[in-house]
Amino acid sequence: MEKYLKKEEGLMEQQAPKLSIILLSEELEKVHAAALVGSVAAMSGMEVNFFVTMNGLVPFLKESVASKNFKTGTVGKALVEKAQPFYELIENGKEMGNLKVYACALAMDVKGWKKEDLIDLFDDVIGVTAFFGISQGGMIITM
Amino acid sequence: MSEVTKKVDARGSFCPGPLMELIKAVKGSQVGDVIEVLSSDAGSAKDIPEWVKKMGHEMVYSEKEGDYWKIAVRKMK
């Protein structure tokens, strides 16, 4: 049994040790899907990094979360009413796995946003070069 | 041998709520413990066994009881 488990672990590591998600969109459906995929991946033993950039940062502003002001389509409206909020999913991923969230320095700068303007999920504000270093060798998906 | 150590009632919670509740319970358990989760979410009934397999734990049972699933997992490491 022990041997079997070790083999399983090895397989898992080979499959996908690292997942990085570039989140560009402020559409709640995409943000929620990214949060869901990322948090479950982190809880399944993968290293997960979020790079939140451009309008993707908007739903993460304290102001947006406090007023529940999100850009929603048909499914998004129901998500706001019924589902666990996206930031709670990410929080769970951080608590129970290796999940980091980074904000894009460019988008923050042009809008004059500070890390304090964002909800308390972000590990750092970084540039593209730093993100490449962090995501190197893993899978990158864009949403 | 498959005595349930901990029970989690995640009925009414949407995907991936029941899985997350289970993961929390597994993290807070000892090796050998059996955690039973109740879920009314059909996606979780498929997701949970996948996660269990991937993480090297053991499925004890997964049964449908009326409009919800009763799934038990043994923590293996």
Q: For the segment A87-136, what is each residue's pLDDT rounded down to a tens digit?
A: 999 999 999 999 999 999 999 999 999 999 999 999 999 999 999 999 99
Looking at residue A2, its pLDDT comes to: 47
Displacement of CA A118 from its chain's centroid (Å): 14
Calculate mean pLDDT across residues A71-91. Answer: 96
Nearest to B21, CA basis, from B34, B39, B33, B3: B39
Q: How far apart are the first and last CA of chain A?
A: 39
Using the predicted structure, report yes or no on whether residue B45 has a pLDDT greater than 60.
yes
Touching check for B51 and chain A: CB below 8 Å? Answer: yes
Measured over the CA atoms of residue A27, residue A143, residue B19 and residue A90, the dihedral's sign is: negative
Higher pLDDT, A6 or B73: B73
Looking at chain A from residue 66 to 85, which residues have their Cβ under 8 Å from any Cβ of chain B?
Answer: 82-84
Tokens 């499925």 found at: B59
Orientation angle between helical segments A86-96 and B17-27, nearest 10 degrees: 20
B14, B55, B56 member nearest A83 (Cβ): B14
Cβ–Cβ below 8 Å for B20 and A39: yes
Looking at residue A1, its pLDDT comes to: 44
pLDDT, tens only, A1-26: 444 555 555 555 455 589 999 999 99
Touching check for B10 and chain A: CB below 8 Å? Answer: no
